[in-house]
Amino acid sequence: MNLDQAQKQRVTEWIEQGLKLSEIQKKLVSEFGVSMTYMEVRFLLDDLKLKPKEPQLPVAPAALDPQAGIHAAVSPAKPAGGIPESDAQNKSAPAGVSMTIDQMARPGALVSGKVTFSDGNSAAWYLDQMGRLGLTPQQPGYRPSQEDLLSFQTELQNQLANAGF
């Protein structure tokens, strides 16, 4: 099915509004009476040289649970500590917080590594497929200070960005 120029312009507006392919597919039917498969909509966008916008991942505040370890949502746009990216990059990790990234991620993780906090305690960290950051301290029940956690998250974000994540 060929669309006229006005219909193509309307599809371009939908993409700019951030609509998903399935939403565009439904709008094509409801507004133009044009029924297309999902794949046909993808081909249409390719023909129009349009790309759907990347969805923004929500950032949840850091949640600490001493029994289950430490988990926080991590987003490239905003660190889990709640500091805007520009502020996070201006602060460097204190001398006492150091971290490494494993050459091969542990099973079930996208990326993993080790961190040593300013008080000398260390933990293994991982980032899972859902974007959750987890820490597994070597000493059971250990909880790093808020400053150490913030420094670790900032340094992790910087190192992952440098590594291409």
Helix, strand, or coil here: 29?
A: helix
Q: Give the pLDDT confidence score for residue 122 in this predicted structure.
A: 92
Distance of alpha carbon 124 from alpha carbon 152, whole angstroms: 12
**pLDDT band per the 50, 70, 90 thresholds, residue 56:** low
Distance of alpha carbon 105 from alpha carbon 110, whole angstroms: 6
Share of the chain above pLDDT 90, in %: 13
Q: Give the pLDDT confidence score for residue 72 in this predicted structure.
A: 38
CA nearest to 129, candidates 107, 151, 104, 113: 107
Inter-residue contact 58 to 78 (CB < 8 Å): no
Q: Give the pLDDT confidence score for residue 116 in this predicted structure.
A: 92
Q: List, for residues 116-151, the tens digit of each pLDDT value.
A: 999 989 999 999 888 888 899 999 889 988 998 888
From residue 164, alpha-carbon distances to 76, 115, 157, 158, 161 in Å are 11, 20, 11, 10, 5
Measured between its terminal Cα atoms, the distance across the chain in Å is 40
Integer-rounded Cα radius of gyration of the chain: 22
Share of the chain above pLDDT 70, in %: 74
Q: Give the pLDDT confidence score for residue 69 in this predicted structure.
A: 41
Q: List, for residues 5-30, the tens digit of each pLDDT value.
A: 898 899 999 888 888 888 988 999 99
Per-residue pLDDT at 65 exceeds 70: no
Check the CA dihedral 154-156-160-162 and report its sign: positive
Per-residue pLDDT at 94 exceeds 50: no
Q: What is the mean pLDDT of the chain?
A: 76
Cα-based torsion angle of the residue sequence 134, 136, 140, 144 in order, rounded to the nearest 10 degrees: -60
Greater pLDDT, 132 or 89: 132
